[in-house]
Amino acid sequence: MISKSLDKAIELLKNEEVIGMPTETVYGLAGNAYSERAIQSIFQLKKRPYTNPLIVHIGNIKQLKELSDEIPQKAEMLAAKFWPGPLTILLKKSTKVGALVTAGQETVAIRMPNHPLALDLLNQLEFPLVAPSANPYQSISPTSAKHVDRYFGNQAVFTLDGGESTNGLESTIVGFEEEEVIVYRLGAIPLEELERIVGRVRLNEVNQNGIVSPGMAPKHYAPKTPLIFTDSLSKRIQQLDTNNVAIICFDKLPKVNNFEDSIIYSFQGHLGNAAKRLYGLLHELDDRNLDCILIEKFPNHGLGRTINDRLKRAAVTN
């Protein structure tokens, strides 16, 4: 069920229920971070393995101290610059944070979302909210209340409608080893922007405990329709043996003789729009019974790098 009622959302969360929550990145499946019952429901609804930890969402900086007693200086600098916003920070957890949230790890992932309704919600509660993206394990993240409702509406999940997510890609995840800033998941804040604040960062898909951040797992974010991700669109089109396809390009439309009846879509060279629209477009195309979705590699910088990362994991082939 989709609703704009903040009061209802608050009531459900206080009763340890789980709701769909809007954020600027993607919608989350949110519950009381201190409620084992709510956390269990999240894992069950998503069919998510317990080895995959959850992000804790806060509405103000006071709540941060409750979750961690050790905040490195670079973490403070990044939080000051990017919160509220699409940056998730891994910090040593306090005793208040349960083992289910962190999958037994010593670090907890924390983020303050930049969405007015989400901030309102968080600030009216006396507990922070755990919220993974509101999609079944390994499928495309939701960027609207409708997407969440399609995934979980039939399981009586209430979704708070906060409009379309403005960023459209998940948060960037950073952690700290000694003085070094490590990026565990590319996301809505490009590496270049992080480096402007803290200098050189290191991209690493495996953390100190040897655990791959599951958002970095090889298969993830996938539509049901086979997705072909290619750096030579024109050549790859010629190899298709069907025209019941969608062709998505970053900028200029390729020559597409014999594909007049196919869906052809361009982001017109705009990375920000592409980031915002990409998941929504994949959701729509997934409903059309296409034989495949062919999508071109993006310029590999800024948000283009994050988009390429996601598409690589969503693709069956290139």
Residues contributing to the site for Mg ion (CB under 5 A)? 133
- CB environment 223-253: b (16+ within 10 A), e (fewer): bebebbbbeebeebbeebeeeebbbbbbeee
| Nearest to ligand TXA of 131, 293 (CB atom) | 131
Which residues fall within 8 angstroms of residue 194, CB to CB, at 6 or more apart?
78, 172, 174, 181, 183, 201
Phi, psi at residue 14, to the nearest 5°?
-65, -30
x/- binding map, residues 39-68, to ligand TXA, per CB under 6 A?
Answer: -------------xxxx-------------
Helix (H, G, I), strand (E, B) or coil at 24: coil
CB 50, min distance to Mg ion, A: 15
**Max alpha carbon distance in the chain (Å)?**
63
* Residue 25 binds which entry of Mg ion, ligand TXA, none, CB below 5-8 Å type-dependent: ligand TXA
CB 233, min distance to ligand TXA, A: 29
The residues with which 313 forms a beta bridge, in sequence order, are none
Q: What is the rounded CA–CA span in Å between residue 134 and residue 204?
A: 25
Binding ligand TXA by CB under 6 A: which of 26, 189, 245, 314? 26
Binding ligand TXA by CB under 6 A: which of 143, 159, 213, 308? 213
Q: What is the rounded CA–CA span in Å between residue 82 and residue 284?
A: 31
Tokens of 158: 């209430």
x/- binding map, residues 65-104, to ligand TXA, per CB under 6 A?
Answer: ---------------------x-x-x-----------x--
CB 149, min distance to ligand TXA, A: 16
Residue 108 binds ligand TXA, judged by CB under 6 A = yes
Residues that bind ligand TXA (CB under 6 A): 23, 25-26, 28, 52-55, 86, 88, 90, 102, 105, 107-109, 111, 113, 131-133, 170-171, 173, 184-185, 207, 213-215
